[in-house]
């Protein structure tokens, strides 16, 4: 199996180890004997999204989102066509915001997005910062996702737009309705940095399985020894739950 990962705007859209998601995908694919190519796509550079097997874009500060959103919009029809064709994609935080209809920055600038997710993002009061535990809607084992969030924007899903999961601890999309992220076909949008995939290997494999299914007709990922990854995952769940209990004054 050959895997072409398109990494969008790696120079500007990369916060809190987002690049680690690409490293995790590459290693997990190579451990299974796949050949992997990472194609960095910066603003203004040519890219043929018909060749993409998997798309990744990380988070960014408002000024970096403002710097790339027009280029992203220009590529909108091509990217949307790939996503509609079932190309798996992971969009973290600032990237997730730009897959919705629009993101309004803290300074009130409206950055139009691709409208792939039926969602929009407005600035909230202050920033949502901290560790997050999510119960995913995807059939993952373990079902929980762990990560770190730091965002000023609050995202609201329109009725009918599926979330990635429900918040167990942390703010997630908006700190009010209990949703986190969004899913449409094989596109996953989320506020979770971390890096996310190294300590959520089951989500990395979900994305790789979608890529394999698309290329070869069926997913048959060889299992890997995830002892260390799942240990990190369980540790993050436990630590976040403990801190949340302490913050809420419970258990004293």
150 binds ligand GLN per the rule CB under 6 A: yes
Give the gyration radius of the chain's Cα atoms: 17
Burial class (CB in 10 A: 0-12, 13-18, 19+), 193: buried
Strand order in the sheet with 2-8: 35-41, 2-8, 54-57, 89-92, 187-190, 182-184
- Burial code (b: 16+ CB inside 10 Å, e: under 16) for 101-133 equals bbbbbeeeeebebbebbbbbbbbbeeebeebbb
- Strand 89-92 vs strand 187-190: parallel, antiparallel, or unpaired? parallel
Whether 193 sits among the annotated catalytic residues: the reply is: yes
Of the candidate residues 8, 29, 62, 164, the single one contacting ligand GLN (CB under 6 A): 62
Least distance to ligand GLN from the beta carbon of 159, Å? 23
For the bound state, the minimum distance from the C-beta of residue 179 to ligand GLN, rounded and expressed in Å, comes to 16
Q: Which of 7, 93, 151, 233 is catalytic?
A: 93
Instruction: Tell whether residue 147 is a contact of ligand GLN (CB under 6 A).
Output: no
Query: Of the candidates 8, 82, 93, 237, which one interacts with ligand GLN according to CB under 6 A?
Result: 93
- Which CB atom, from 62 or from 180, has the smaller least distance to ligand GLN? 62
Please give the residue whose beta carbon sits closest to ligand GLN in the complex.
59
Question: Which of residues 95 and 207 has its CB atom nearest to ligand GLN in the complex?
Answer: 95
93 is catalytic: yes
Cα angle 238-244-248, degrees, rounded to a multiple of 5: 150
4, 14, 21, 65: which one binds ligand GLN (CB under 6 A): 65
Alpha-carbon gap, residue 162 to 183, rounded angstroms: 6
If binding is defined by CB under 6 A, does position 59 make contact with ligand GLN?
A: yes
Sign of the CA dihedral with 39 first, then 45, 51, and 57 last: positive
Q: Which of 113/152 has CB closer to ligand GLN?
A: 152
14-43: contacts with ligand GLN (CB under 6 A): 15
Contact predicate 132/92, CB 8 Å: no
In terms of CB distance, is 168 or 196 closer to ligand GLN? 196
Angstrom distances, CA of residue 49 to CA of 69, 77, 128, 195, 204: 17, 10, 33, 25, 21
Among 19, 42, 47, 61, binds ligand GLN (CB under 6 A): 61
Does position 151 bind ligand GLN by CB under 6 A? yes
Q: Is residue 152 a contact residue for ligand GLN (CB under 6 A)? A: yes
* Number of residues in contact with ligand GLN under rule CB under 6 A: 12
**Residues identified as active-site:** 93, 193
Binding interface with ligand GLN (CB under 6 A): 15, 59-62, 65, 93-94, 150-153
């Amino acid at each position: 199996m050959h895997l072409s990962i398109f990494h969008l705007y790696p120079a500007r859209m990369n916060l809190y180890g987002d690049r680690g998601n690409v490293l995790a995908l590459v290693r997990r694919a190579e451990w299974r004997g796949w050949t992997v190519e990472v194609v960095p796509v910066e603003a203004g550079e040519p890219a043929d999204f018909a060749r993409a097997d998997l798309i990744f874009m990380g988070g960014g500060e408002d000024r970096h989102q403002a710097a790339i959103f027009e280029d992203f919009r220009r590529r909108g029809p091509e990217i949307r066509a790939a996503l509609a064709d079932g190309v798996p994609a992971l969009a973290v935080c600032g990237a997730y915001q730009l897959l919705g209809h629009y993101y309004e920055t803290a300074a009130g600038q409206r950055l139009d997005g691709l409208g792939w997710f039926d969602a929009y993002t407005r600035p909230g009061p202050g920033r949502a910062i901290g560790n997050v535990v999510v119960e995913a809607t995807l059939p993952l084992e373990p079902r929980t996702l762990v990560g770190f969030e730091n965002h000023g924007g609050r995202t609201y899903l329109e009725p009918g737009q599926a979330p990635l999961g429900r918040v167990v601890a942390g703010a997630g999309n908006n700190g009010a309705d209990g949703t986190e992220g969004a899913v449409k076909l094989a596109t996953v949008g989320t506020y979770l940095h971390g890096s996310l995939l190294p300590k959520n290997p089951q989500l990395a494999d979900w994305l790789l399985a979608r890529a394999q299914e698309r290329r070869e007709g069926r997913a048959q990922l060889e299992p890997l020894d995830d002892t260390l990854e799942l240990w990190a995952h369980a540790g993050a769940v436990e630590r976040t739950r403990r801190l949340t209990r302490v913050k809420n004054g419970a258990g004293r």
